[in-house]
Structure 1
């Protein structure tokens, strides 16, 4: 039976890669090590205009939205919300090199909804600057598997929170909490 990686698994992989750094280098990511998650993963990069653009997008995520997302703005996925902007949250992940988990409600074209989790993890480029993030969009645990031909219209942010055990970009050399994850 096919098993998807959860946000917890993806976070654990990312956390192991970064070691004592606030975030790992892009070159450290080995797709074979997370092949079960690849359909759910995406990579965002900061543009010169300050936007976030999809650089890479997994096949399951594109299928959920019924279109290729590569090259499109991260902002295109979202319904407006009164309290917080997912794009601002993602830009904060990059600026502060601090991972975030978001709980989302996905609205399908047929009127159905499903709950999702989105993980946002900062990634450094070859120059050592944090200018990208790796993300994952997965069904929340307990949600039925989506065996529908319907596509997502948009996502709505219900809640976001920084992950425990995150370290600021400037590490102090103190031991980190190994038990903290998701």
Structure 2
């Protein structure tokens, strides 16, 4: 299933078990190793700092992450699952194909996540979303979602490779809601390690942001032609 939707098999770089992305925080390497494998593979697919092509994805390149990885179709209205791993489907308790990614998110934060995904495709940039999950048993779980833009067959940044990594797995056969408690947006270039914007705590208040002249917004698809103000503050 993954092979058909990720694109035809080819000799893609295999990064499982090798050194991880240099841009990762050391703590996250140990806490979220599955996310680190996916981001390292995404970085390995890039050519001359250009975004990877979705058709170049090969499941063998992130074989340890397939149950927690996903691909989104993105347009100006939001993002929907093209494919999702089995552990993510278990959280939703259903087939996620065609479902809005925000259906997994707490209602108060859905608009913020939609704007974040559309924005990283426009920049382009990559994003990290820190999450809290409380399963029906009342067990708190810490998780992290990464969002990595890719281009479609027309060269437009309308796809996102993502992964949801947990410190522990939610209870089986239980639908869970993801509560964003922080976000970090970084330049997509591996050579640029500065943070574009950091937001934290349950209200997702703005913590820091680069000056506007340090960020060049580059809309990459006609579907993004609708003017949208830059995300500078999100309130609960």
Q: TM-score range by the shorter chain?
A: 0.7 to 0.9
1:39 aligned onto 2:67? yes
3-state SS of paired residue (2:125): coil
3-state SS of paired residue (2:107): coil
- Residue 174 of structure 2 is matched in structure 1 by 151
2:145 to 94, 111, 118: 118
- Residue 75 of structure 1 is matched in structure 2 by 102
CA contact (8 A) 2:117 2:147 kept: yes
Q: Deviations over 1:112-163 (max 9, x none)?
A: 2211010000010011000010110011xxx3x3273252431111101023
1:177 aligned onto 2:198? no
Q: Distance in 2 between matches of 1:40 and 1:156?
A: 17
3-state SS of paired residue (1:160): strand
What is the CA distance between 1:14 and its match in structure 2? 0.5
Change (3 A) 1:129 1:35: same
Unpaired runs of at least 5, structure 1: 168-175
Tell me how many residue pairs correspond in the alignment: 165
- Residue 170 of structure 1 is matched in structure 2 by none
What is the CA distance between 1:39 and its match in structure 2? 0.6
What is the CA distance between 1:84 and its match in structure 2? 7.2
Unpaired runs of at least 5, structure 2: 1-16, 18-31, 196-236
CA contact (8 A) 1:42 1:136 kept: yes
Residue correspondence of structure 1 range 104-143 to structure 2 within 5 A: 104-139=131-166, 143=167
What is the CA distance between 1:82 and its match in structure 2? 6.7
Q: Distance in 2 between matches of 1:28 and 1:12?
A: 15
CA contact (8 A) 2:151 2:159 kept: yes
Higher relative contact order structure (alpha carbons within 8 Å, sequence separation ≥ 6): 1
1:59 to 79, 82, 86: 86
Larger Rg: 2
1:162 aligned onto 2:188? no
Find runs of 4+ consecutive structure 1 residues off by over 4 angstroms.
none
Q: Distance in 1 between matches of 2:194 and 2:169?
A: 27
CA RMSD of aligned residues (A): 2.7
CA contact (8 A) 1:22 1:98 kept: no
Change (3 A) 1:53 1:114: same
Q: Distance in 2 between matches of 1:42 and 1:83?
A: 18
